Amino acid sequence: MGWQELTALVIVTATALVFLWKLVRPRKLSFESQTHCGCSAGGLSGSKQSIVLHARKGERPKVFVKAG
């Protein structure tokens, strides 16, 4: 086995280990995803709202809430 084959084998093995580690690593506890609370809760209520900020130099800023 030449050095090029050995290098390729090491790269493939390292890549496989990284993918396996991502599958089995401990997950961080996310309160929002576990309890469906927080900013992403808009999907549960069914209403879609967006906030539009409009500001120009020298003018008073305006905030629009669009429900749609």
Domain boundaries, the chain: 3-67
Task: Give the pLDDT score at 10.
Answer: 96
Q: How far is CA 44 from CA 7, 29, 31, 37, 47, in A?
A: 51, 21, 16, 10, 8
Find residue 54's DSSP bridge partners: 62
What pLDDT, in 10s, does the model give residues 6-65? Answer: 999 999 999 999 999 988 887 777 666 666 665 554 455 556 778 888 899 998 989 988
Give me the DSSP letters along the chain: --HHHHHHHHHHHHHHHHHHHHHHSPPPP-HHHHH--SGGGHHHH---EEEEEE--TTS--EEEEEE-
Task: Give the pLDDT score at 48.
Answer: 74
| Average pLDDT in the chain | 80
Task: Give this prediction's pTM.
Answer: 0.41
Contact 55, 62 (CB under 8 A): yes
What pLDDT, in 10s, does the model give residues 27-36? Answer: 777 666 666 6
